[in-house]
């Protein structure tokens, strides 16, 4: 009887297990959309305990940034109207960039305020070129000073011309790559500009000039960001920059601070995405360009096109980006954002720009594969899969009456340098993302497997019950049980015959 009870308990437990497996399998097969939504909702929130926080606070590994300079090979012919300025690209000069957040403040309205801290260091071991290479280019400090005087009366400009000629006898200069980037170099015009308040903001309060001078390790250069955390706010959206919702650098809609803060994007549509660039003091809009696969993950690719680069020539709504100097499509006027210097941003080698720019110089060769600015996002989560950030800095050189050094120069947009940041999603995150994206297949497959196992167990249980006497009665193997006479051999046959 005890044995029968144990057998019955085993059968009941087995039956319960099979029902449980079938139920769990059925639930997994049907519940995966709810589970996916729950995971995505948690991913789209930034707190100190959320999955995205550590990645947002400090990027897990440094990423490369390559700088290219344009060496002016015929500067002595600058006043010869029959000779175009000729440039030779030099580089890449590879640095590594680390990026982290500083001065983080969590606000009660569901936003977070922070600053960026970045460090750049030259890759001594794998540097492709020597940062002590010497580059000849237009004198950016002199050009900025002269540009600031274009609205002065003739006699004031003539007075400045005398001082300028003694301190900057040529419109060009030669410096090392290191000096042009982070090290900086001394220039007497900087000291003069700091002592002459009527030059306004044409030259910042630096003691040296370098395109990235004072930026290494700075927490103030890129400004103050206020971003939505997803709690009573839009996740990743930039609500203000330097406490502005409209910058003072542009007019109308062009001055609005909007789009992503540049790191998180809501699941995008198939039209466009936007993010704010502190270097250009404006929002950049990228248009959908089609699907793209990164590390076997399908994403949507977005690129900077002619609409973003236009100043009203092709799209009238962009005229507010002119800043008083409307130029042909392809260059973005950032002079008001760059201390009043004649600075214009473009894609490298004037890619996707009006032919006017290429026709005025020699040596540039735009290439879509090398010079396109793009961003690839995973469409379900909005996670960036790959970034190809490429921008070129140009300066406008033009004749200025009354400034002897610049009276006979051509009007030309001089390419100074361009940089490229090419970053892909870290391998450590690829597996997690693939698991998330394949959640439906994983849940469905696991559910079917569990249901199949449950059905197999149930079938075996039914078969066992049908072929086994679970009440404890055994078949009588003896003809005369009281005599213990088994039915074996000849004796069994004989007994049968007697019967």
Spell out the domain ranges in the chain: 2-41+439-498, 62-305+338-425
Nearest-CA neighbor of 164 among 337, 338, 398, 407?
A: 407
Max Cα–Cα distance, the chain, nearest Å? 148
Residues 85, 437: contact at Cβ < 8 Å? no
For residue 443, the SS3 value is helix
DSSP per residue, 108-127: TTSEEEEEEEEEEEE-TTT-
pLDDT at residue 285 in the model: 92
Q: How far is CA 412 from the centre of its chain?
A: 33
DSSP assignment letter at 299: E
pTM of the model: 0.83
Backbone angles phi and psi of 392, in degrees to 5: -120, 140
Which pLDDT tens digit goes with each residue over 400-418?
A: 888 888 889 999 999 999 9
Give the mean pLDDT of the chain. 85
In angstroms, the CA 128 to CA 93 distance is 6
So what's the pLDDT on residue 495? 46
Q: Torsions phi, psi of 420, nearest 5?
A: -135, 130
Compute the radius of gyration of the chain from its Cα atoms. 37
Higher pLDDT, 297 or 30: 297
**pLDDT confidence of residue 128:** 67
Share of the chain above pLDDT 70, in %: 88
What 3-state DSSP class applies to 222? coil
Instruction: Quote the CA–CA distance of 160 and 200 in Å, as a whole number.
Output: 14
Phi-psi region of 264 (alpha: psi -120 to 50; beta: other; left: phi over 0): beta
pLDDT of 484: 52
**How much is the pLDDT for 213?**
92
Q: Residue 237: is it exposed, middle or buried by C-beta count within 10 angstroms (0-12/13-18/19+)? A: buried
**Sign of torsion over alpha carbons 114, 115, 116, 117:** negative
pLDDT score of 346 = 96
| 63 exposure class (CB count in 10 Å sphere: 0-12, 13-18, 19+) | middle
pLDDT band at 499 (very low <50, low <70, confident <90, very high): very low
DSSP 209: B
Query: What do you get for the CA distance between the two ends of the chain, in Å?
Result: 34
pLDDT at 136: 97
- Where residue 127 falls among pLDDT bands split at 50, 70, 90? low
Q: Are the beta carbons of 302 and 374 closer than 8 angstroms?
A: yes
* Of 275 and 27, more confident: 275
Burial of 345 (0-12, 13-18, 19+ CB in 10 A): buried
Residue 113 confidence (pLDDT): 98
Q: What are phi and psi for residue 403, nearest 5 degrees?
A: -100, 100
């Amino acid at each position: 009887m005890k044995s029968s009870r144990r057998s019955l308990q085993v059968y009941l437990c087995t039956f319960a297990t099979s029902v449980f497996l079938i139920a769990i399998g059925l639930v997994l097969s049907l519940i995966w959309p709810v589970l996916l939504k729950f995971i995505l909702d948690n991913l789209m929130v930034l707190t100190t305990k959320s999955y995205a926080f550590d990645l947002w606070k400090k990027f897990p590994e440094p990423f490369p940034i390559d700088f290219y300079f344009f060496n002016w090979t015929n500067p002595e012919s600058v006043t010869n109207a029959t000779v175009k300025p000729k440039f030779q690209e030099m580089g890449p000069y590879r640095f590594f960039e680390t990026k982290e957040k500083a001065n983080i403040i969590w606000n009660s309205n569901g936003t977070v305020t922070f600053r960026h801290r970045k460090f750049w260091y030259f890759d001594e071991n794998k540097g492709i070129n020597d940062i002590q290479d010497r580059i000849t280019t237009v004198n950016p400090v002199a050009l900025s000073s002269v540009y600031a005087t274009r609205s002065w009366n003739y006699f004031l400009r003539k007075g400045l011309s005398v001082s300028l000629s003694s301190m900057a006898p040529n419109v060009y200069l030669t410096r090392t790559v290191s000096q042009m980037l982070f090290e900086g170099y001394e220039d007497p015009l900087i000291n003069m500009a700091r002592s002459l308040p009527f030059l306004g903001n044409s030259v910042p309060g630096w003691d040296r000039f370098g395109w990235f001078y004072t930026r290494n390790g700075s927490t103030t250069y890129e400004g103050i960001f206020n971003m939505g955390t997803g709690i009573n706010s839009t996740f990743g959206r930039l609500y203000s920059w330097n406490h502005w919702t409209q910058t003072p650098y542009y007019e109308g809609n062009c001055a609005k601070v909007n789009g992503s803060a540049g790191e998180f994007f809501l699941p995008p549509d198939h039209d466009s995405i936007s993010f704010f660039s502190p270097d250009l003091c404006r929002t950049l809009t990228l248009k959908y360009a089609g699907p793209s696969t990164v590390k076997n993950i399908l994403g949507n690719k977005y690129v900077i096109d002619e609409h973003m680069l236009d100043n009203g020539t092709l799209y009238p709504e962009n005229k507010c980006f002119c800043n008083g100097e409307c130029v042909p499509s392809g260059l973005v006027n950032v002079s008001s954002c760059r201390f009043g210097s004649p600075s214009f941003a473009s894609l490298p080698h004037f890619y996707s720009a009006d032919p006017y720019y290429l026709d005025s110089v020699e040596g540039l060769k735009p290439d879509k594969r090398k010079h396109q600015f793009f961003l690839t996002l995973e469409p379900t989560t909005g996670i960036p899969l790959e970034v190809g950030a490429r921008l070129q800095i140009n300066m406008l050189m033009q004749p200025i009456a009354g400034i002897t050094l610049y009276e006979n120069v051509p009007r030309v947009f001089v390419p100074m340098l361009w940089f490229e940041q090419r970053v892909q999603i870290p391998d450590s995150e690829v597996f997690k993302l693939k698991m998330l994206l394949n959640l439906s297949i994983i849940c469905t497959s696991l559910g079917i497997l569990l249901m199949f196992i449950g059905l197999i167990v149930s079938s075996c249980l039914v078969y066992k019950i049908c072929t086994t006497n679970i009440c404890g009665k055994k078949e009588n193997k003896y003809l005369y049980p009281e005599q213990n006479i088994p039915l074996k051999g000849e004796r069994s046959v004989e007994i049968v015959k007697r019967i």
